[in-house]
Structure 1
Amino acid sequence: MKHAFRATMSRLASGVSVITTRSGDAPIGMTASAVTSLSMDPLQLIVCISNRLFTRGAIAEHGRFAVNILGEGGQALAKNFATSKKDKFAGVSVSEEHGVPVLKDAIASVVCDVSAAFPGGDHTIFVGDARHFEHQVEARPLVYFAGAFGAMT
């Protein structure tokens, strides 16, 4: 049943993001597709993070996270942050001016303060109040569909 549900939901194309935060002095990051805008008043978005991931606890503890939206050609970054290796940030250019790592190679980024967290099955749904955001006007997104990365045509 779970396999069939996962296969069905894989037909919903999504953008690819890297969620970043901090745990003490250490930068933390993971690849995610469960990200969406929530509200324009106040400016909010939601991210859904598996309860089994270290990132979930780090976001809850730090209280701030960034959504880094990847563009076409960002497959290597997406794969890097989808692994469980220790230093995912090695060789990755980031800015720290907003209290969390923001990937310089992202086509857009939103830095959020956690305003609420809700249980969602085996995930936690974090509501983030947008504090800083920017984007590249001409950039095109990296897309994830049916278990593979792609681009919009």
Structure 2
Amino acid sequence: MDSNNNVVKRTVMVVSNGGEAGHLVVSEITSPTLPASSHAMPANDFFVGRKGVTPDGCGVTAQGEEEVCSEAFRDAMRDLAGGVTVVTVGKGDDITGFTATAVNSLSANPPRVIVCISKGSSSFTPLDSNRSFAVNIIGSGDQAIADQFAGKGGLKGAQRYGDAEWTTMYSGTPILSASLAALDCEVDEVIERYDHAIVIGRVRAIRIFSRQTPLVYWQGGYQQLVSSPELIGGLRNCSGPKAVQYP
């Protein structure tokens, strides 16, 4: 956004599988609830935050080294746009899940993903005990699903699944039929650090089916990528779901 609060569009070159280039326009959407930009912080606030020399969220490590402030850290990380996923956990009637942007690939050979989850999350114990989960990559038309799994309206457990259409693959964990892609995973390792756990997933099955753009989370709100139908068709030219299962 420029100094006059006009929407700014950035054009990025995207190359499809066929080698033909297209343009993807990223639109920064104006929101009245958008937090104050961290870029306006004084230069020395990268360490002490906005509240002074000893603001809430600052502390001292066991080694006696002062930590940066949680508030300033959150401000900085809001500038990192992330794809939105719904991580589903459990089987049958004992199901739950959560919305996450802290999901990434770890390795392509072998296929492994990383999911970061708060140890205080209601999904952490079921995930750890079931030793399986699914990552559902959410499209721009399914913000309601993302809200449900974020617990909006107080929804918990199986309530978060609502009236959406679900299927299963290798592990029996629910897979969102409308997702851009889904990864059905076994828990390979759980590494607990601080107030979170890093979950490494062994990808056992993959489902790909979409012609829509992804839902993006940036600056505390959902955003959308704007592109032409021709570009989406070129990037994902398929007439139905494609599923791959690993032995």
Q: Same fold (TM over 0.5)?
A: yes
Which residue number in structure 2 is paired with residue 151 of structure 1? 224
Greater strand fraction, Structure 1 or Structure 2: 1
Q: Which segment is superposed worse, 70-79 or 93-102?
A: 93-102
Query: Percent of counterpart pairs with the same letter?
Result: 36
Unaligned runs of 5+ in 1: none
Classify the secondary structure of the residue corresponding to 1:76.
helix
Which residue number in structure 1 is paired with residue 123 of structure 2? 55
What is the Cα deviation at residue 62 of structure 1? 0.2
Which residue number in structure 2 is paired with residue 82 of structure 1? 150
Which residue number in structure 1 is paired with residue 97 of structure 2? 29
Alpha-carbon separation, structure 2, partners of 1:97 and 1:111 = 7
Asked if structure 1 preserves the Cα contact closer than 8 Å seen for 2:169 and 2:205, the reply is no
**Residue of structure 2 aligned with 1:39, choices 95, 107, 110:** 107
Classify the secondary structure of the residue corresponding to 2:212.
coil
Q: Which segment is superposed worse, 142-151 or 16-25?
A: 16-25
What is the Cα deviation at residue 136 of structure 1? 2.6
What is the Cα deviation at residue 144 of structure 1? 0.4
Alpha-carbon separation, structure 2, partners of 1:133 and 1:23 = 18
Residues 36-81 of structure 1: per-residue CA shift (max 9 Å, x gap): 0000121100000100012111111001100000011221111111
Asked if structure 1 preserves the Cα contact closer than 8 Å seen for 2:166 and 2:174, the reply is yes
Asked if structure 2 preserves the Cα contact closer than 8 Å seen for 1:23 and 1:58, the reply is no
Which residue number in structure 2 is paired with residue 95 of structure 1? 167
Are positions 1:123 and 2:196 aligned together?
A: yes
Alpha-carbon separation, structure 1, partners of 2:115 and 2:75 = 21
Give the letter aligned to residue 94 of structure 1.
W
Classify the secondary structure of the residue corresponding to 2:146.
helix
Matched pairs, number: 153
What is the Cα deviation at residue 120 of structure 1? 2.5
Alpha-carbon separation, structure 2, partners of 1:97 and 1:12 = 32
What is the Cα deviation at residue 25 of structure 1? 3.6
Classify the secondary structure of the residue corresponding to 2:76.
helix
What is the Cα deviation at residue 138 of structure 1? 2.9
Give the letter aligned to residue 72 of structure 1.
S
Alpha-carbon separation, structure 2, partners of 1:106 and 1:14 = 16
Classify the secondary structure of the residue corresponding to 2:160.
coil
| CA RMSD between the two structures | 1.5
- Whose relative contact order is higher, 1 or 2, with alpha carbons under 8 Å and at least 6 apart? 1
Asked if structure 1 preserves the Cα contact closer than 8 Å seen for 2:169 and 2:184, the reply is no
Asked if structure 1 preserves the Cα contact closer than 8 Å seen for 2:91 and 2:173, the reply is no
Which residue number in structure 1 is paired with residue 21 of structure 2? none
Regions of 4+ moved over 3 Å: none
